[in-house]
Amino acid sequence: MRQQELIVYRQLEDGALLEEMAWIMDHYGENRYDCIPRFYECIYKLLDLAGTYGFRGNLWHCYLANLLVNNENSYSRSCECRGAVPGTINDAVLHDIVIFKEFYDYDFGPLTEALGVREFALAEHYENGSYESKVYNSRICRRICELAEAFCRNNTPREMKDTLTEFYREYGVGKFGLHKSFRISHQEGGALISPILNIAHVKLSDLVGYEIPKQKLIDNTEAFVSGKKANNCLLYGDAGTGKSSCIKAIANEYYDRGLRIIEVYRHQFQDLNSVIGQIKNRNYKFIIYMDDLSFEDFETEYKYLKAVIEGGLERKPENVLIYATSNRRHLIRENYGDKEEIREDMHTSDTVQEKLSLVARFGVTIYFGSPTPKQFQEIVRVLAGRNGIDMPEEELLLAANKWELSHGGLSGRTAQQFVDYLLGAGAEQGWPGAGLKG
């Protein structure tokens, strides 16, 4: 086998199994007794991959497809979200796909017969109960399995290359292509960007009310993913009003159009330049998301953030925006003393301007206020209806009003918690007239 002749797809993550299988393919004729235990080990690794990645069908084919969709190289990065690119690189990639197709079309019959290892059939026809994956969401897991099957229908290496290129165009490549959201961790060499595997699958339509704030957020995000000018965005207002849920919703709704979310905490601001350096030349649109952003007046991290957002010598990349949520309109705690005429600071207006300068870097500010009692009741009605709660409306709203008085007040979060309570223990605890359909 010719895996050593690969050019573009040379640095393969998880490529050790490919090397081991290639050795067995080359040596099973004259080295039977060494090959048998090593082949069983390969079967184990393929079955383990099925449990980790959620693959089904021909696990060898799924493994090869997974190698190709995760390999970030000059070709795959150029094709992500764009499709085929011109140039000599296509000839080099076709050379590599010829080698991959040899692995893909390899007939294991003589090998398994010579070694007497018929258990390889388990990996060739693997049945999995679901596309439950510890690495991908179910949609991406299913798509990789479908890609493996599509490769079987490709008669030539060129057709296989075209199929792979279309995958890059539609889904991207590597961790940024196959995941919606990310978090960072600090390392000596810079920030490590890691996928978040279980993002809540919420949609904007799931959030009851707040139509004007949601539309402002949609308009700004739509412009951004469409390649138009867009602004950094601050969602501020009362607790439990859906600010963070809106960010999760746009991550879900704009993923297919190349939008990715990177969550950054306040103590990680030192890594922002490293993060931006890693994503600025990719074909995706990135939102750096800061949840519950606020500072006390003695904290100075906001000064660093100001320079990163706008004000440093290096211009922020066109494919990066900052979205933040906060309960504070101006982000930094302000005191009445900031505006007193007699105080230790001789330049009062300078102090005020310094504290306002951070929020000024967010071109779009969107307010989320607590709902009125009438709006709260409407939220409860809608959520109860969606969840099949069969309870007289008058009793439902009365119970909801009692609940919010002792559980955080009027907010969408309180309404959701109340409905969750009804779905769980509410009826058993004896809510008047409570009963659930089904």
Q: How far is CA 421 from CA 70, 291, 387, 409, 434, in A?
A: 42, 26, 12, 16, 11
pLDDT at 303: 67
Check if the beta carbon of residue 224 is closer than 8 Å to that of residue 230.
yes
* pLDDT band, very low/low/confident/very high, at 79 (cuts 50, 70, 90): very high
405-432 pLDDT, tens digit per residue, is 988 889 888 998 999 988 886 554 555 5
Please report which confidence band the pLDDT of residue 181 belongs to, taking 50, 70 and 90 as the band edges.
very high
What is the separation of C-alpha 74 from the centre of its chain, rounded to a whole number of angstroms?
23
Can you tell me whether residue 5 is helix, strand or coil?
A: helix
The number of helices, as runs of H, and strands, as runs of E, in the chain is 18, 7
Q: Which residue has the higher pLDDT, 292 or 288?
A: 288
Query: Is 180:102 a contact under the CB 8 Å cutoff?
Result: no
pLDDT at 352: 46
Instruction: Give whole-number Cα distances, 35 to 19, 22, 43, 213, in Å.
Output: 13, 11, 12, 64
Question: Could you tell me which residues come within 8 angstroms of residue 196 by beta carbon, excluding any fewer than 6 positions away?
Answer: 179, 180, 181, 182, 183, 263
For residue 382, count other CB atoms closer than 10 A to its CB.
15
- Determine the pLDDT at residue 354: 55
Cβ count near 208 (within 10 Å): 20
- Provide the 10 A C-beta neighbour count for residue 152: 13
∠130-132-135 over CA atoms, to 5°?
150
Boundaries of every domain in the chain: 3-177, 181-368, 373-426
* DSSP classification of residue 196: -
| C-alpha R_g of the chain | 27
Q: How confident is the model at residue 342 (pLDDT cuts 50, 70, 90)?
A: very low
Calculate the CA 221 to chain-centre distance: 16
pTM confidence score: 0.82
Check whether 273 has a pLDDT greater than 90.
no
**What are the CA-CA distances from residue 33 to residues 21, 111, 115, 136 (Å)?**
15, 13, 8, 37
Residue 332 predicted with pLDDT over 60: no
DSSP H or E stretch at residue 381: helix 373-386
Lowest-pLDDT choice from 16-20, 162-166, 183-187, 304-308: 304-308
Exposed/middle/buried for residue 205 (C-beta within 10 Å: 0-12, 13-18, 19+): exposed
Taking residues 114-135, report their average pLDDT: 88
| Tens of pLDDT, residues 211-228 | 999 999 999 999 999 999
pLDDT for residue 296: 64
Looking at residue 187, its pLDDT comes to 82
Please state which of the ranges 25-29, 33-37, 199-203, 321-325 shows the lowest mean pLDDT: 199-203
Q: Considering only the top CATH level, what class is 181-368?
A: alpha beta
pLDDT tens-digit readout, 227-267: 999 999 999 988 888 899 999 999 999 998 999 999 998 88
User: Is pLDDT above 60 for 335?
Assistant: no
| pLDDT for the residue 292 | 82
**Phi, psi for 225 (deg, rounded to 5):** -70, -20
Higher per-residue confidence, 67 vs 265: 67
Task: Look at residue 275 in the predicted model and tell me its pLDDT.
Answer: 92
Residue 135's nearest CA partner among 22, 13, 39 is: 13
Taking residues 197-205, report their average pLDDT.
82
Q: Which long-range contacts (CB under 8 A, 24 or more apart) does 297-300 make?
A: 297/332, 297/333, 297/334, 297/335, 297/355
Helix pair angle (59-70, 89-104), 10° resolution: 160
